[in-house]
Amino acid sequence: MCMREQLTIFLPENRIDELISIGKEKTIESSAYFIREGEIPTKIAFVISGLFRYVYIKDNGEEFTKGILTENNFLSSYSAMILKHPSHFFIEALETSKVLEINWLTYMLLVEKDIFWVKFLLKLVEKGYMIKEKRERDLLLLDAETRYKNFLTEFPGMEQRIKQGIVASYLGIQPETLSRIRKRMLF
Amino acid sequence: MCMREQLTIFLPENRIDELISIGKEKTIESSAYFIREGEIPTKIAFVISGLFRYVYIKDNGEEFTKGILTENNFLSSYSAMILKHPSHFFIEALETSKVLEINWLTYMLLVEKDIFWVKFLLKLVEKGYMIKEKRERDLLLLDAETRYKNFLTEFPGMEQRIKQGIVASYLGIQPETLSRIRKRMLF
């Protein structure tokens, strides 16, 4: 599926042209960062293909994967970007990925002149908000095994694409705990 | 300070009238719920005075206070409301409180006819998003004592207004852990 077709999920034809006209197609190599911790973000991106994660790296080197993003999602370090503060997390490509990169100030020009792009942005922020709320709830209310089962349902085939250590850091558990859960589920 | 003055933080004069004209002033008694878990939310509210919390109650009765909201904040169970799903958490008054209650469908009528109210809603959702992102980060990256110190700074005087058990459930720790931290901080 090409980018134009993918964007029809979100946008009518004429709006797709508008978005593409302000964006740049880019390839991001596996393990490279779209946004780094400490950097003031000035861009968002639509993921055409590939895989990303949002990750906090603690002072002791421990990682917490706060989000996993596949194709057809928008990447951003949103709070930091709108506050013009340094990002608290990294956005890392887990596979060589293609994105449509959009400069935030350029997007703001669209927002200023057309209510359509305000409503579109509202939808994106609402989606981000809902994902965060569900994630908070899952981490608080579900046990690790249930979280792992939900992960397998939500991201089918992802087990082959992501290292176990990253899956564990997404589930908020130690890699050893994940191994135990996986063994238990085999029987 | 009266409601009208409070709303000048967010809105110009003529917009305040518009919002007040679609809202209803209500008193919510201490310990009563503005929204209950399991209920499909159809309203938001501006807190004129008083104090609220968003709380998850687990099957075993354990509570997790996901947010504390003082005057000059908007209350909502937003994800559930826009998805028309049952709320996963309660919104509970911790003191007898006054709110301006606004029906969501009525607000949507404003949104339909005027870009101002779309932009205002975007600001509210962005604020909610930023609070959630900060909260996630604090829970992940800071130790309990630092979280408690930040709580005291962020909510000055709140120690006298909220029971210690609720403070602990906001910090994600056991009440005994909070007691130990408080004792340590006295010396």
CATH number, residue A119: 2.60.120.10
**Nearest CA-CA distance, residue B99 and chain A, Å:** 24
| B114 Cβ contact list (under 8 Å, min separation 6) | none
In the predicted model, is pLDDT for residue B86 greater than 80?
yes
Kindly calculate the radius of gyration of chain A based on its CA atoms and give it in whole angstroms.
18
Q: Are residues A90 and A151 in the same domain?
A: no
User: Does a structural domain hold residue B88?
Assistant: yes
Q: Calculate the average pLDDT of chain B.
A: 94
The residue from B77, B94, B128 where one domain ends is B128
Give the DSSP H/E element, type plus range, for residue A128: helix A115-141
User: What gap in Å lies between CA A169 and CA A147, rounded to an integer?
Assistant: 12
> Is A90 in contact with A35 (CB distance < 8 Å)?
yes
Residue A53 located in a structural domain: yes
Residues of chain A in contact with residue B126, where contact means CB-CB under 8 angstroms, are 78, 82, 125
The encoded tokens of residue A132 equal 């965060």
**Nearest-CA distance from A126 to chain B in Å?**
7
Per-residue confidence (pLDDT) for residue A100, from 0 to 100: 98
Residue A110 CB: number of other CB atoms within 10 A? Answer: 19
**Nearest chain B CA: its distance from A59 CA (Å):** 9
What pLDDT sits at residue A139? 87
Q: Which of B66, B125, B130 sits opposite A136 (nearest CB)?
A: B66
Residues A111 and A159 in one domain: no
Final residue before a domain boundary, out of A77, A95, A126:
A126
- Average of per-residue pLDDT values in chain A: 95
Test mutation, B122, B127, B169, chain A, max A CBs within 10 A = B122
Q: Are residues A91 and A164 in the same domain?
A: no
The verdict on B8 and B73 lying in the same domain is yes
Mean pLDDT, rounded, for B142-156: 93
Nearest CA in chain B to A128: B129
The pLDDT of residue A69 is: 96
Do the Cβ atoms of A121 and B122 come within 8 Å? yes
Residue numbers in B near A88 (CB within 8 A)? 133, 137
Of B56, B118, B135, the CB nearest to A141: B56
Q: How confident is the model at residue A186 (pLDDT cuts 50, 70, 90)?
A: confident
Distance between CA B131 and CA A132 in Å, rounded? 11
Tens of pLDDT, residue by residue over B109-148, are: 999 989 999 999 999 999 999 999 999 899 888 999 999 9
Report which of B37, B163, B152 is spatially closest to residue B95, judged by C-alpha positions: B163
Pairing of the two strands A90-93 and A51-57: antiparallel
Rounded-to-5 percentages of helix, strand, coil across chain A = 50, 25, 25
Q: Do A125 and B130 touch (CB under 8 A)?
A: no
Looking at the fold, whether B85 and B52 belong to one and the same domain comes out as yes
Report d(CA A164, CA A141) in Å as an integer.
23
In a shared domain, residues B177 and B91: no
* Chain B environment of A64 (Cβ under 8 Å): 140-141
Nearest to B65 by CA among B54, B74, B73: B54
A130 to chain B: closest CA residue: B79
Question: Averaged over A63-79, what is the pLDDT?
Answer: 96
A114 and A26, same domain (yes or no): yes
In the structure encoding, which two tokens stand for residue A18, read together?
């508008």
A136 within a domain of the structure (yes/no): no
Helix (H) or strand (E) holding B115: helix B115-141
**pLDDT of B3:** 92
Q: Is residue A137 part of a domain?
A: no
| Chain B contact residues (CB < 8 Å to A) | 56, 58, 64, 66, 78-79, 82-83, 88, 115, 118-119, 121-122, 125-126, 128-130, 132-137, 140-141
Q: Which of A33-47, A136-150, B95-109 has the lowest mean pLDDT?
A: A136-150
Range of the domain at B170: 142-187
Best CA proximity match to A76, nearest among B156, B58, B126, B170: B126
The 10s digit of each residue's pLDDT in A9-32 is: 999 999 999 999 999 999 999 999
Residue B135 falls within a domain, yes or no? no
pLDDT surpasses 80 at B187: no
Residue A182 pLDDT: 93
How far is Cα B75 from Cα B94, in angstroms, rounded to an integer?
A: 13
Average pLDDT for residues A147-164, to the nearest whole number? 93
Q: Does A47 share its domain with A122?
A: yes
Q: Evaluate whether residue B70 is within a structural domain.
A: yes
Domain presence at residue A32: yes
Q: Are B125 and A130 within 8 A, CB to CB?
A: no
pLDDT 10s digits, A86-132: 999 999 999 999 999 999 999 999 999 899 999 999 999 999 999 99
Residue B186, φ and ψ in degrees, nearest 5: -70, -25
Which of B75, B21, B69 shows the shortest CA–CA distance to B44? Answer: B75
User: Do A28 and A89 belong to one domain?
Assistant: yes
Domain assignment present for residue A133? The answer is no
* Best B137, B142, B170, B171 residue to mutate vs chain A (most A CBs within 10 Å): B137
d(CA A134, CA A130) in angstroms, rounded, equals 6
Q: How confident is the model at residue B93 (pLDDT cuts 50, 70, 90)?
A: very high
Q: Same domain for B110 and B172?
A: no
Q: What percent of chain B has pLDDT over 90?
A: 88
Supply A147's token pair. Answer: 């979280």
Q: How confident is the model at residue A1 (pLDDT cuts 50, 70, 90)?
A: confident
Predicted local confidence at residue A91, as pLDDT = 98
With an 8 Å Cβ cutoff, the interface of chain A facing chain B consists of 56, 58, 64, 66, 78-79, 82-83, 88, 115, 118-119, 121-122, 125-126, 128-130, 132-137, 140-141
Query: Using CA atoms, how far apart are residues B68 and B72, in angstroms rounded to an integer?
Result: 12
The reported pLDDT for the residue numbered A140 is 85
* A93 and A165 both lie in a single domain: no
Count of structural domains within chain A: 2
Is the CB of residue A109 less than 8 Å from the CB of residue A100? no
Confidence label for B75 from pLDDT (cuts 50, 70 and 90):
very high
Indicate if B53 and B102 belong to the same structural domain: yes
Distance from CA of B147 to the nearest CA of A (A): 16
For an interface test with B, give the residue of A60, A119, A138, A143 to mutate (most B CBs within 10 A).
A119
Q: What's the pLDDT score for residue A85?
A: 97
Residue B170 has pLDDT above 90, yes or no: yes
- pLDDT higher than 90, residue A54: yes
